[in-house]
Every structure is written in C-alpha cells, then in structure tokens.
C-alpha cells in the first residue's frame, strides 16, 4: 500500500526551525521526502528525486498554513462514535471525524467499565492498530490510552464509580494481552493499594503513566514520579486541588517539572487565564493539549451516553444527567483539536507556532512516537493539516493519503 507522490506548493510551512513562506512539501510513500525552503536555499530532500517529474500530484495551498497533524492522546469518541462500543467500525468512524478537525494520530481512550467491556474495547482497538494494509481514511490509531478502572471513587468525575477497582498486575496483564501490547498510556490513581507495583510493572513494558482521578497528597505524587509516572491527566479536573498547606495533585502537576500536564482548552474545564498561566510556568514540552472528547463531539445538542452514564450536551458543554434531569459535573467534552488550537491562541495571546507543539510533538514525545510523528521534518510520516487564518481545516493528510478535503464536504 503506497500513497501517491504529492507536492504541496505555495504553503506557509511550520517546521521546528520556524515558518517557511511560499514553500513546497514533497511526499512519497507516506513520508516527507523534500522541503522547498521557498528561497535561494533550494530543496532539502532525503533522497535523490526528480521533483519536476510529472508523476508528482501538485496541490496548491494558496498561501494557507501547513502544520504537522495533531496528536490527540486522550479521546473517547466523536462524530457519534464511541471507543467503548468495542467495534472496529466505531473506531474508524471516530478517526474519520477527528481527521476532519486536523487530528492525524490518536489513542483510543477507554472508560471505567466491567472487565469484559474493557477487554472488548481493547481487542477492537488492537485489530485496528494492526490493520496496516488498510488505506487510511481517517486519523492513524496509534494505540490505547487505558483510563480506568484503577481510579479513586472520591474523584471519579464521569467515570462510573460502580466499576472502579484497586490496581492489579493480574488485571493489567489481561488488558495488555487483549490489546496485543498496544497500550501506550495508562491513567491511574497512585494512592490506591498496589498502585506502586502496577505503575512499575507497566513502565517496564514501555507504558507512559498518567496520574488521574486521584485524591493523592503531594508526597504521594512525588513518590509516583519516582515510580515512573510522567504525566497528569486533564489538569485541575478529577483531582485534589491546590491548597497552600497541601499542594495536592494540581500543585504537583504545576510544580514538578518531571510531569507533563494534559489540558482541556475549551474554556469550560479550565479558566482561560489559568490556561495562560500554565503555559507560562511549565517547562517547554510539558503541556499536552487534549480533547477528552466523547461521542457527542460534532453532533447536535441532546442526550448521549458516556459509558453507562447518561449525559446532556448543550452549547458545547457535556454534563452528567442527574436522576432529576438536572446537570451534574462535566463529562468529557465536545472539543476538537483545531478548536483547542484556536481558543488557546486567543486565551494566551501567543503565536500559533508557539502553541502548535502542545498539540503535536509534545504529545508524540510523551508516548514515544516523536521519531515519526509530531513535526514536519524529512523522513517523518506525512501527517499534515492545511488550515487558513480563521482556523478552518481545508485538508488533512495521514501517511501521505489525503483523508479529508473540505471542498468535497
């Protein structure tokens, strides 16, 4: 399976070294093989190519921005599709939806559920991850983010408290087997019994550990870092808050430089000024933008389900539906990565180029795929998104295949 040779020309290309104005990007066999600097420096290429060959399909970017495709490491669904339904078609549908919003790679994120329900979701995800012969028509499913069931009921949020349980190496191993080793990220509350053993065990298998839905104190968070944890799930949400005498989970996420922090930048989960402050105080590479989106993303207002829990979506916000029909706590989001980018630029006042790494190379680095994903560089996967100055997605490319074109939708 090979994609065609493509030249995207007349683009503003964002590279790790900065913008290239009126540049061209050359794609062959799913990889970035040439970058035209747009000036007298000429073309940098990874192999000897005849760029004037008529075999190259030319795409006119007409001055739009060509960015590395977004990498979403925390996404439960979207476009009406849901990871926990345990179906390949649900996963492909979710990947198609998010590709239309600029996401080119993602982790299928589970929810707390019964053992059997999680196993089903993991098996479906593994099947999609390993189906490398299928021509991409949506975002590239890189693996699994196991969120739950090893979480604290005191901070369960929209995770079903009835199915929460203590960490277990035995259960983790059954999850690992069902996923065929595709679990890239695991969320866990470090204060639970046996959490240390499970964290160390998972880290030894190459799994990134994110501390989540936790009531841990600051001392426990520091210990978790020693055990190998490197991330905090959706900072400020589902955790012990910052207190001046007990920094808690939120304080640890802010103060411990070893921890990258996920942020849901929709303006509802975290105050815009606080988002700006987090970008200011965390070290470079340690802010990871996510959607935490559920199936209702991209769908009309109404009632949906997050796992077994009924939720209501209204004006872009998703809340648990309480027994009396009123709104409970936030339950995931309807955010997309392109909206996260546009809102964060507005919230922080930063340039686009300063924010894009938090949606691309930083999450790619957290899950260990930075050698092929997350930036526009020679030899990397041709995962790209073409957007205009109004943050509208015009085209999305995954492994060199055009998987979305706004002109045809």
Which of the residues are catalytic? 292
CA distance 117 to 53: 52
φ/ψ of 14, rounded to 5, equals -95, 110
Closest Cα to residue 32, out of 68, 86, 84?
68
Phi/psi of residue 95, nearest 5 degrees: -65, -35
Cα 167 to Cα 195: distance, rounded to the nearest angstrom: 6
Helices 195-204 & 218-227 angle (0-180, nearest 10) = 30
**Cα(21)–Cα(51) distance, integer angstroms:** 19
Cα(293)–Cα(102) distance, integer angstroms: 14
With contact defined as beta carbons under 8 Å apart, do 332 and 306 qualify? yes
Neighbours of 298 (CB within 10 A): 17
Q: CA dist 223 to 101, 217, 218, 236, 247, Å?
A: 38, 10, 9, 20, 14
Q: What is the dihedral of CA 141, 81, 389, 42, to 10 degrees?
A: 20
Q: Rounded to a whole number, what is the distance in angstroms from the first to the last CA of the chain?
A: 25
How many whole angstroms separate alpha carbon 66 and alpha carbon 14?
A: 6
Q: 395 forms bridges with which residues in the sheet? A: 386, 405
Residues 6+ apart with CB under 8 A from 201: 169, 172
Contacts of 204 (CB under 8 A, 6+ apart): none
Q: Please answer whether residues 176 and 183 qualify as being in contact, where contact means their C-beta atoms are separated by less than 8 angstroms.
A: yes
Of 87, 152, 149, 92, give the one whose Cα is nearest residue 123. Answer: 87
Question: Of 307, 303, 304, 292, nearest to 162 (Cα)?
Answer: 307
């Amino acid at each position: 399976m090979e994609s065609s040779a493509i030249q995207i020309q007349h683009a503003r290309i964002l590279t790790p070294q900065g913008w290239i104005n009126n540049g061209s990007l050359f794609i062959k066999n799913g990889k970035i093989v040439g970058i035209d600097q747009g000036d007298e420096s000429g073309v940098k290429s990874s192999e000897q190519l005849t760029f004037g060959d008529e075999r190259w399909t030319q795409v006119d970017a007409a001055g739009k921005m060509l960015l590395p495709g977004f990498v979403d490491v925390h996404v439960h669904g979207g476009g009406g599709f849901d990871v926990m339904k345990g179906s390949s078609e649900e996963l492909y549908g979710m990947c198609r939806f998010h590709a239309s919003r600029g996401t080119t790679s993602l982790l299928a994120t589970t929810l707390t559920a019964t053992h059997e329900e999680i196993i089903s979701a993991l098996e479906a995800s593994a099947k999609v991850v390993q189906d490398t012969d299928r021509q991409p028509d949506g975002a590239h499913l890189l693996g699994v983010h196991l969120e739950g069931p090893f979480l604290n009921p005191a901070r369960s949020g929209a995770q079903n408290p009835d199915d929460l349980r203590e960490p277990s190496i035995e259960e983790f191993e059954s999850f690992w087997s069902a996923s065929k080793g595709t679990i890239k990220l695991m969320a866990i509350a470090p204060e639970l019994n046996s959490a240390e053993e499970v964290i160390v065990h998972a880290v030894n298998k190459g799994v990134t550990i994110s501390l989540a839905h936790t009531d841990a104190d600051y001392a426990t968070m520091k210990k978790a870092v020693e055990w190998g944890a490197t991330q905090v799930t959706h900072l400020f949400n589902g955790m012990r808050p910052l207190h001046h005498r007990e920094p808690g989970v939120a304080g640890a996420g802010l103060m411990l430089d070893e921890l990258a922090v996920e942020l849901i930048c929709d303006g509802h989960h975290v105050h815009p000024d606080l988002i700006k402050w987090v970008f200011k105080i965390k070290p470079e590479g340690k802010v990871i933008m996510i959607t935490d989106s559920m199936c209702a993303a991209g769908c009309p207002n109404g009632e949906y389900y997050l796992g077994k829990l009924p939720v209501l979506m209204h004006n872009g916000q998703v809340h648990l539906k309480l027994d009396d029909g009123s709104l409970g706590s936030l339950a995931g989001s309807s955010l997309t990565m392109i909206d996260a980018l546009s809102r964060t630029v507005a919230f922080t006042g930063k340039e686009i180029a300063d924010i894009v790494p938090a949606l691309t190379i930083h999450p790619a680095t957290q899950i260990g795929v930075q050698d092929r994903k997350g930036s526009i560089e020679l030899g990397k996967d041709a995962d790209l998104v073409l957007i205009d100055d109004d943050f509208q997605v015009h085209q999305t490319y995954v492994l060199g295949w055009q998987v979305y074109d706004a002109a045809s939708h």
